[in-house]
Amino acid sequence: EAEVAQSPRYKITEKSQAVAFWCDPISGHATLYWYRQILGQGPELLVQFQDESVVDDSQLPKDRFSAERLKGVDSTLKIQPAELGDSAMYLCASSRGSVQETQYFGPGTRLLVL
């Protein structure tokens, strides 16, 4: 069964350092999402891609976060510089088409900023 891949699974970094997370969606899925989940909370959307285009990044803190999906397949989320409050689980999800459809989530990257 096809799955969404994410790496790394865990990342520990010091504040002010740069970090990057990678996501490979299910083959054929046009829509890709990045979510951030703080411990004890539900996931919150950061950015949505449709193929290689950003559909919505209004929740992405653009002073330090950036996301790209250059060829419309895999995607990278970057934080520079990392802050203590960025410690969270970063989840990637994909779906075939519209936001109304089922989303398939990867295992997530747990980030700890010291």
Partner 1 sequence: SQQGEEDPQALSIQEGENATMNCSYKTSINNLQWYRQNSGRGLVHLILIRSNEREKHSGRLRVTLDTSKKSSSLLITASRAADTASYFCATPRADGLTFGKGTHLIIQP
Q: Which residues bind partner 1 (CB under 8 A)?
A: 4, 6, 33, 35, 40-45, 48, 55-56, 58-59, 89, 91, 93, 99-100, 102-108, 110
Instruction: Give the Cα separation of 4 and 20 in Å (integer).
Output: 17
Among candidate residues 36, 106, 25, the one with its CA nearest the CA of residue 71: 25
- Min CB(16)–partner 1 separation in Å: 26
In the complex with partner 1, which residue's Cβ is closer, 61 or 81?
A: 61
Closest CA to 51 of 73, 67, 68: 73
Q: Given the complex with partner 1, which of 18 and 54 has the nearer CB atom?
A: 54
Instruction: Estimate to the nearest angstrom the gap between the alpha carbon of 101 and the chain centroid.
Output: 18
| Choice between 28 and 40, CB closer to partner 1 | 40
